[in-house]
Structure 1
Amino acid sequence: MDFDTFLGRVESRGQLASTEDALRATRITFETLGRRVDSEAAERLGAQLPGELERFLTKEEGTERFAWGEFVGRLVEAGGYDEGAGGTAAHHARVVLSVVDDATTEGAVDTVRERLPAEEDWDELFALVDREERPAAEGRGAE
């Protein structure tokens, strides 16, 4: 999937106002996730994404430990969301991950999931990935 198609799907699926909003949601999701997972997982996933997006995921050095709630808080802060917009920021991150799932080989998103603590609320990030199959027009491998 190319850069424009990726952002178009984030914009559409997330019901965002513009491509710029889709890029912002993607950037902050990838940068924040890139701080949380180890570099190997980030690089493996990033290698399957358009280069313009891969750099957001893989540019961070080192891994930080933080919980789902802090992840959402970091999204809000980095994205300039209004205070109390954690639900919106989390939804945008879920949308980004669902498009990543479409754009990558089967199991690529699971590599990231496996690097996150199972006992915390991280499954929230994968809620759209885990829901029932999306329509065939948006399914895996569709361009």
Structure 2
Amino acid sequence: MKYDEFIKHVQSVAQVDSREKGEAAIKATLEVVKERIVGDEAKDLAAQLPEEIAQYLRGREGENGQHFKVKEFIERVSKKEGVEPNDAVMHIRAVFTVLQNAVSPGEFASFKHNFSDDFGEVFPSLSESEASA
């Protein structure tokens, strides 16, 4: 998936009205993902994304991720993006939905294994990922 296509899909799923807001949602979400997951897994995920997006996942290779729950994940994204937590949840879900369609099924499964069950609310349901395909 190309960079512009990724942004347009995030804008659509997140229901944001500008490219800048879509880009901000992607950047904030993936920067917090980088803090949360194992650095080498972030590198593997980045390898399947456009460079403009992949850069947000790089820089922690060889490091372990920080263990924090979904509430803190949402708070961190909310703060980085400068939006309310409820909006951050929608934006995270949108980024994860588009991510699921942008990388291989095996890579997305590996990515998802980095998160505990309480993260279910920010991962796309099957119908959402099919809708954005």
State if a TM-score over 0.5 links the two structures.
yes
Matched, 1:123 2:120: yes
1:134 aligned partner:
130
Please identify the structure whose Cα radius of gyration is greater.
Answer: 1
- Determine the C-alpha separation between the residues in 1 that align with 2:33 and 2:111: 9
The one-letter amino acid of 1:22's match is G
Tell me the residue number matched to 2:34.
Answer: 34
Kindly provide the CA deviation profile for residues 11-42 of structure 1, in whole angstroms up to 9, marking residues without a partner as x. 11111010100000000000001100001211
Determine the structure 2 residue equivalent to 1:68: 70
In 2, Cα distance between equivalents of 1:29 and 1:60: 16
Structure 2 equivalent of residue 101 of structure 1: 100
Gaps of 5+ in 2: none
Q: Distance in 1 between matches of 2:86 and 2:60?
A: 25
Superposition TM-score, scaled by structure 1 size: 0.84
| CA distance in structure 2 between the partners assigned to 1:67 and 1:20 by the alignment | 28
Moved more, 40-49 or 23-32: 40-49
Q: Is the 8 A contact 1:31 1:60 kept in 2?
A: no
Q: What is the TM-score with the length of structure 2 in the denominator? A: 0.90
Q: Going by fraction, where is helix more abundant, 1 or 2? A: 2
SS in 1 for 2:87: helix
Q: Per-residue CA shift, 1:20-69, capped at 9, x if unaligned? A: 00000000000001100001211111110001100101234642221111
Alignment check: 8 A CA contact 1:42 1:57 kept: yes
Match of 2:57 in 1: 57
